A and B are shown apart, each in its own frame.
Chain A
Amino acid sequence: MQIFYMVVFVGGLVLLIDFLAICVLNNEVAQSDGIALSRRGWRTVALLLAVILAAGVLYVFPPPDAVYSAIGLLLYPFVRLVQLVGNAVGIDSDVLKNLGDMEYSSWVRESNYGWAISLTFHAFGNAAVVGLTYIIGLRVVGLFRTISFTSLLKFFPVIWLGVLVQVLSGGSLWMTKPGRYTGDSMFDTKFSLVVAGVIVTIILQRIMSREAAAWDANGAVSARGKFFAGLAVFVWTFVLVAGRLTAYLGTLYMQ
């Protein structure tokens, strides 16, 4: 887990610097506040600083294993739910094995290109979702004021296309060793975050569909709009981080 704390510390620091720089540039060209940040901007900075600080403290003073076990328990209801649904529709270890033995799974696993192509599509799906969600998030924070909230609704079909690409390519990767993936803690974490990301994005889209015109008219975003936009940025960022860490933590690649 030391790697995770270091990733959050370094990544958070870089994103904080980027955020401050973009705020300064945006405010200057908007000729509004000089280089002053808005209240929402300061809150974002404070949140990022808190995450960076927490990661730094946890890196230096790692918590006892019992804490990780307790965090693991948080995932348990979700993992249990997946197991129950799986059992209800008849997916057991034999089905997983058969999925892994399919010709397509073998091609992805063993051919020269199957794995690489799936991984590349997965990267682009992720990039589209995270990149466009960041733009929405920054707009909600108060940047890019000349872009209307209603116009941002056009991003959602592209975001869903990105999610679809992620699911299809991720499914292809999962089918190479479904049994091992399903029991891996990092994969379970990432999968949980993807489901959370999808739910949060659905809620954000519904909120924006209903309220974006009012936000444009009033020049103010509702509290739940801010919350879910921020949450979408947070969750999709950690989907990316968890995806990367799947290769280094857990049991899938590095022993």
Chain B
Amino acid sequence: MHLIPQSWSHLHILVSVFPSVGLIFVLGFYITAILAENAAMKRICLVLFVVLGLLALPTYLSGDRSMAVFAANPEAPKDLMNIHFWWGLVGLGVLVLTGIAALYELWRSRQSGKMSDQALVPVLVLALATLVVMSVVDDYGFEINHHELHLGLGTARGASAPQAWSFVHMVLNHFPTVGFVVSLAVYVSALVMNNDLMKRSGLVLFVICGALIVPTYVTGTGSMWALTQPEIPGISKAVINAHRDIALLALFGLAFTGGTAWIELWRSRQLGRFSNAMLYTVLVFAIITLGILAETGHRGGQINHPEIRVATDILPTDPNAGWTPAIEVLINNVIWFVPWQTVHFLGYTLIFGTVLAVFLRVLGFWKSVPYSAVYRILPLGFFGVMMNVFTGMLMMLADSHRYIVENTPFAPKMGLIPIAVMSVLYLTLSDSLWRVKAGEEAPASAKAVAILALLAWTGVIMGGRLLPYL
């Protein structure tokens, strides 16, 4: 594992995404805390804003030192580095202000004994402003090393896949990784503080990270084609394959963590309490997954960042080595492909049947049962999703270029999966829906989400079924 950075560039790559991507997750928590009026959660968010504010220092220092090292290279894009530096200064400045405002509110609330809404809003505004500026900073930062971004989003140089895959993957891959770190921090705090709302929020974030890893993995495979056919100087297929090997483990690690988190959310809703055994199982899965994600991120960084390589790094050179190419060969054999494909079909029938049953109840066509009874069916669809994530990724590996690049419906299918998962999360978490008794109408918001869930899963299934034809 490579958790400890060994150069300024390495440290900069590692910490610089937290002020933007990490901030999105903290902001999500913060807005939830304000809406839920949960003091403990507000406090932990303020602490996280302070931590992010403190990260401005290593971000600045590591960036400044990396620039000094980088400037020695005659091919370094100095103009771009300057623009990135100055925008970075502005962004980090606003981030520090956000941290100071959060620290002040923490101090003030400790003195007065309660949080003030008037004081919480400036922190929110400053955090949003930081996010906007940091998006610009990140965009310029990405362009410094990622030469493929200069090729445009299309298929310049006769690439077998549009560079848009690389661009989307570069942005998207930070969400399940950085988001996972923030989620784990909040989750550990929740366990220490024994705060149920925070535990639930942490579990929800694990589920969201689990849902995001699917499109992240797929965009990664798409970008592999964009970067290797034809080859781009300095980018090695063997190094990409090493990244893909561990990324597949990360996918399953996040799917298990998110899946276990969902089961505990579902379970605790009915029992009215969390199970410590389940909470700590999620924690163990999360810690193992964090280790895998760290290695995945490191190997991903090695693809386009020669400056982070150290003497002890032995980079692979054989483009056919690793177990991802081996799985590709194995699954391409009809004796393996057809069973997994059939399980995939069984999976979507479980998902569709479950969503249909929930839809019928929420829309009022099956009002004779309380929602809490229909809620019991949800694991049937959940196991369908787990079956299909596993089998779907294996099938995709069998012929990834055809699935991802040549088949139009694959991208919308992947885009719809997080939406479909979010809608199921709502159906799992909604208090107003949980209270709907036999014969009662479900709230209008729940009806809208049930329609969204049915449409999203219909889109996901339709995208899969149309794959060979469009």
Contacts and interface: CB of A to CB of B under 8 A. Distances in A.
Interface string B323-351: 00000000000111011111101101111
A10 B339 contact: yes
Interface residues of B, number: 47
B376 A154 contact: no
A154 B343 CA distance: 28
Given A116-B465, A131-B354, A146-B373, 5 more contacts: A3-B334, A7-B342, A18-B380, A22-B379, A29-B267
Interface of A is mostly: helix
Contact of A3 (B338, B348, B469): B338
Interface stretch (B42-50, B119-127, B245-253, B364-372): B364-372
Contacts of A148: 368-369
Nearest to A157: B365
Kindly list the 9 A-B residue pairs having the minimum CB-CB distance in the complex, ordered from nearest. Answer: A131-B353, A127-B352, A116-B469, A146-B373, A10-B339, A130-B349, A29-B270, A127-B349, A18-B383
Contact of A151 (B338, B351, B354, B366): B366
A9 B340 CA distance: 11
A123 B374 contact: no
Interface in A1-26: 2-3, 6-7, 9-11, 14-15, 18, 21-22, 25-26
Contacts, number: 143
Interface string A136-153: 001000011011101100
Contacts of A112: 469-470
Given A130-B353, A131-B353, A22 B339 contact: no
Contact of B339 (A11, A135, A143, A158): A11
A143 B376 contact: yes
Contacts of A6: 335-336, 338-339
B369 A158 contact: no
B452 interface: no
A101 B466 CA distance: 25
A245 B377 CA distance: 29
Interface in A225-255: 237, 240-241, 244-245, 248
A60 B341 CA distance: 21
B349 A126 contact: yes
A128 interface: yes
B239 to A, nearest CB: 33
A171 B400 CA distance: 32
B271 A29 contact: yes
Given A3-B334, A154-B366, A248-B334, A14 B267 contact: no
